[in-house]
Structure 1
Amino acid sequence: MDKDITVAVIEDDENLRFLISHRLQTERYKVVQAGNGDEAEELILSVQPDIVLLDWMLPGKEGIDVCRSVRNKGFEHIIIMMTAKSQDVDKIDAYSHGITDYITKPFNMDVLVAMIDNKVRFFVPKNANKDVYVFGSTEHHPQIHSLIRDGKKIELTILENRILLHFLQNMGKEITREELMEVVWGYSSNVNTRTLDMHVVRLRKKIESNPDKPTYLQTVRGLGYKFVNEE
């Protein structure tokens, strides 16, 4: 049975665009394509795909500019940035609040499909409640990686957003550092646990009233973490 989900594949490398599109079609997704930034913007705004796979480096407009532009024009669906340079990830975190998530090239097609399936499962159903998680007096809006507390918006980086979302989807469950690293960085990650812990520390500063004595994001000694929401 066809999934009623449209994915826009925006990639200037024709071979890669074909491979991604073909694989998504075999997974029963509907696919539309573009090979440069200007075409991409037009396509996204006219078709309104559920998910956009957007290459960082494009002829014409760069991917990040396409993203910013369609967001400014009211496009609210998922945008996954494909980037070949891992250092660009920091720029994405710092400068773009329009990207939902990213995947670093070269990527395994199974990982890409798993990521898209996950987004479809949690975000695409047109049900506003699915898009907002609440703990204490804080709302988490994962698609715009932001928190809303007391009417104020607090931006999250893409990695903080991934970490928090995984906890909120697994409320009360003890999560190992290894599981969390796989969720955040992917299967081939060689990131060390101290880097993960650093991101958790930063996230706590945004979600806890006292980050040194966390109410929500608690450490499980010798294992990892768990997220507790007890009012």
Structure 2
Amino acid sequence: MPRQQPPARSTRRRSYDQFCATARALDSVGDRWTLLIVRELLAGPRRYTDLHADLPGVSTDVLASRLKDMEQGGLATRRRLPPPAAASVYELTARGHGLLPVLAALAEWGAPVIGERRPTDAVRAHWFALPLLRALGGLTRRGVVEVHLDEGEFHVRTGGPAEGAGVYGDGPATHADARIVLDGEVCLALGRGEFTLAEAVEDGRIEVVGDGPLVGELRGARTLP
């Protein structure tokens, strides 16, 4: 007698099956790790190995599965870089980028309970970008701000991302219009709205380095266009 094959597993993703916009959104991004993958891809195109390195705790199987789901859901795409890179990268679609306000709101909501860093907590400098973006949101000048923390360096773009670039990026910027030096606690306090960017600069909690219109605005000396 021929051996029976086990029934094939359904490839249909889990759904709340509710006619509700919130439920539909959670069908796409409610799985564990998905929003954190979005956080990483907001920094721009990333290789799988880079994503895995900056998402400590995720298994390779889960990461691959989430990325596949994000591609199928229209949140991310994968493309091959031209030589000499010869590597594939993942990047957010326009719909994926639309999650920036969601991530920013979650960061703001979670900031009051983050407390002190636990011994088991991983940390990456660019994870401070979301709370800092809230404080930089009032800037009118478009440019790149390089941020120096004890935890490392990252850079953020004011006035919206340039075409093909992320909202923020890990490491120093190729070209920075301004540089600021602060610590993680100040960054989180800015995200909580405990003081403004101008107040932090004025009382010396943030050091601004450089010159030009964006530097002037960061220092509170707004210059006319």
- Asked whether the two chains share a fold, i.e. TM above 0.5, the reply is no
Q: Which has the larger radius of gyration?
A: 2
Report the TM-score when normalising by structure 1: 0.30
Report the TM-score when normalising by structure 2: 0.31
**Structure with more of its chain in helix, by fraction:** 1
